[in-house]
Amino acid sequence: MGSDLVYPTGSRQYSARRFYSALDIVGRRLPLGRYWPLKRRIDDHMMMSSWKTDLPFDADWVMGTGFIIRRDLFERIGRMDEAYFLYMEDVDLCARVWGAGSRVVCVPHAKLVHDHQRSSAAGPLSNAGRMHLKSLSIFAKKYRLPLFNPPTSAKILRD
């Protein structure tokens, strides 16, 4: 279960996401993602419209800050993958949750204040940016990372 992460100002962080495609990564890492036609795609990746009902909803993955997982499921799917130093470990864990036949749900009224600074936004050549790209390459070796269409939760696992 993912919580509704909010900044200290009270604005929503949009902590539930769809799985990535290469185009989503480009849109999120470069300023182009703020403009049409990529902006709409990035808004979809970040599941912005799913929050409008204030009802719990399925998400491909939720940000690791403040998520809750049943211990038996956590043990069964193998805990967190220590190959990731920073970034993508939550995406990996959620992919394994779906692969085990369980769901990832985000609960809009389970609010948690997250003083998030998104250091990975500093650019792909910054330390955080390089760590993010390294973790992304680990993830891409384990899971599907298509060029254009993000995989569904049922199709994230490699055959």
Half-sphere exposure of 35 (CA within 13 A, CB side): 3
Residue 79, domain member (yes or no): yes
pLDDT for the residue 159: 63
Buried b (16+ CB within 10 A) or exposed e, 59-83: bbbbbbebbebeeeeeeebeeebee
pLDDT for the residue 129: 79
Give per-residue pLDDT as tens, 123-148.
666 788 788 889 999 999 999 888 88
The CATH number given to whatever domain includes residue 104 is: 3.90.550.10
Residue 110, domain member (yes or no): yes
Residue 72, domain member (yes or no): yes
Whole-number Å distance between alpha carbons of 20 and 140: 10
Residue 158, domain member (yes or no): no
Domain around 50: 2-142
pLDDT for the residue 121: 56
Q: Point out the least confidently predicted range of 28-42, 68-82, 100-114, 122-136.
A: 122-136
Q: What percent of the chain has pLDDT over 70?
A: 94
Residue 157, domain member (yes or no): no
Residue 103 pLDDT more than 80?
yes
Q: What percent of the chain has pLDDT over 90?
A: 62
pLDDT for the residue 127: 83
148 or 5: whose pLDDT is higher? 5
Residue 151, domain member (yes or no): no
- Residue 58: beta bridge partners? 105
Domain count, the chain: 1
Residue 14, domain member (yes or no): yes
Give per-residue pLDDT as tens, 50-61.
999 999 999 999
Residue 149, domain member (yes or no): no
Rounded mean pLDDT, 98-103 = 95
Whole-number Å distance between alpha carbons of 96 and 158: 11
For the full predicted model, state whether its pTM sits above 0.85: yes
